[in-house]
Amino acid sequence: MIVIKTASIKAACLLASTKDIRYYLNGVQILIRDTGKVHVRSSDGHMVFDDLMDEESRDGMLDIIIPIEAATLIGKSKSQFVAITKINETQYECEGRLFKPIDGKFPDCDRVIPERDSQFDDVAGQQYDAMLLATCLKAMRIATGNSKAFFRLQNSPCGLMYRENDTYPRCGIVPLNIKAAFVGN
């Protein structure tokens, strides 16, 4: 049994794709590494969300993708935490709902999301899509439980939105490519 914050699932659903041809993006990844730390991740190819649970899992390593339909229903739970239980080799259960994980390999978010670095704190060099920034802000507010908070945006190859004195949750945003917009002029 894996215990996860409901807010993390709900926030991850905001950044997950719903009808992408890359089927593995149409869900929320639950990743447990050999350290026992549980990550909740999602991406739509332009943004990525990553949260880390405080508790370590005793279930060993795991890497599953919850289909977006099931994850959305799980995110609507009124309880603060939800438990995901493995029923058999192909099915899991959470909040009374059975789901079959998406068969695919979720992108390696660690390669996309940059580390926090003070040399990148000035965001003047990059431009970001306002809708993507608003979506990341909403996800961060849901994940942290603070509906009025604002978060730093680190200017790096991929914009990093994070809470000032915390590593998780975090969002990565791909900046706009200004040169591509003016090709042919």
10-19, 38-47, 123-132, 144-153: lowest mean pLDDT where? 123-132
pLDDT digits (tens, 9 = 90+) for 15-58: 998 887 788 888 999 999 888 899 999 999 889 999 998 777 77
pTM: 0.86
pLDDT for position 101: 93
Domains in the chain and their CATH numbers? Answer: 2-109 (3.10.150.10), 113-180 (no CATH)
pLDDT digits (tens, 9 = 90+) for 159-170: 889 888 888 999
Confidence of residue 127 (pLDDT cuts 50, 70, 90): confident
Residue 114 has pLDDT above 90, yes or no: no
Higher pLDDT, 1 or 138: 138
What are the b/e assignments for 36-56, b being 16+ CB within 10 Å?
eebbbbbbbeebbbbbbbeee
Q: What percent of the chain has pLDDT over 70?
A: 90
- Residue position matching structure tokens 């789901």: 99
Q: Would you say the C-alpha torsion 89, 93, 98, 102 has a positive or negative sign?
A: negative
Question: Distance between terminal CA atoms of the chain?
Answer: 57
Rounded to the nearest integer, the mean pLDDT of the chain is 85
HSE-CB of 85 using CA atoms within 13 angstroms:
8
Q: Tell me if the bond preceding 67 is cis, omega within 30° of 0.
A: no
